Structure 1
């Protein structure tokens, strides 16, 4: 009797849906976004069957790289071409955006000119906005068991390459059968050490993501508000009380230091 083993299941996939103009709270202005369609599809041996069931649409800012959930009905249309001219993209995809965000855009101009006047509650909301915007990405990054980044990917590929190179070189240096155990030992040692280093890099990945991406983005977004250190600590304390990773992992001193060096993102 022949038995056929099918490896089937479901996995989340994404594909480009097009381009739109929208407001980015991190860039504090209207920018170009790339819309991605996320769906869950059945796969056989890792190959997806069809587009699958729609989960959501995510728009990724082309300037800062951060994303937000969007509804396609929000836009006049989703452009199929990557229009570089922002005004043309606005006219094609979201022609009323300057009216929709008129009050916010006026506040941003005043912030850049140090002329904005806010109530304490309004200022608190503006300070919290960048944190709240980045919460989904930070939570997702820490919830994933394994996610390779540049450093861990290089470590993994380097381990494989160095192990193969060690085996080839040692086999050339000691071709006689009595030395085969020594060749295997050397190759195994390189593989074990490299695997351990790769594992360490994987564990350090979320922290690198915070230092290289989240904290600099927070600092650039907060720069026009010129927050005090006490205000930053209050924001992070509120997020810690809510048991959110962005509140427990981002340290006030790190953010304060980044804020002193930051330049606001210009859209």
Structure 2
């Protein structure tokens, strides 16, 4: 009797070894960490972009205010310390009840400093919490005219944005119509000229002069400066009485309050800042 032996071969099942599984988990973790980092960075970029937009909006609103008033908001009262509140009260910048509400504990501070010939420069400082150095560096890339201030090691970074005095402010004209008082005297307010190279100046023109006619017609008029105060000029309108008008003594002053056919006599005036 013959016995047959049958050999059975088992094929191993397919799968992953422990090393392969651990390698896959590590790779997935690295990819996930990378994408989480990217998401965090994008969130930070959006926060800094919004912050930069707030700073630029504040600067634009301040320059608009300057163009209308020839000074920065809150310049006279506190060297621009309450600039944000001033613009907020005018509806030119959004301010909450407790002041400016920045993201992640970020605050804004303002001041204006005298820079000599250039007038006063507005400085907008962005105060970051401790450890936000990356955000501060990112903000500087959005605000080219800014500087990272020197602070103590235990303080958060501070980025200051510089806003120069608008150039058109030094050439701004103001128009007045002023009635002459006793003896033809009147006062004219001086403009507030920024910087040390801009001087107050004026252009004057009488709107009506009544006097006896002469063969040569009206001999002319002359504005005599009586007083030169820091805030105003005190001037007097004199008119020529005759053909000679080379000297001040050739002009006469009015008696009482000047009138023309029963109406007050007015002077048209333009004030501006003249650059030396």
- Normalization by structure 1: what TM-score? 0.26
- Identify, as 1 or 2, the structure richer in helix: 1
Ranked by relative contact order (alpha carbons within 8 Å, sequence separation 6 or more), the top structure is 1
Q: Tell me which structure has the larger Cα radius of gyration.
A: 2
More strand by share: 2
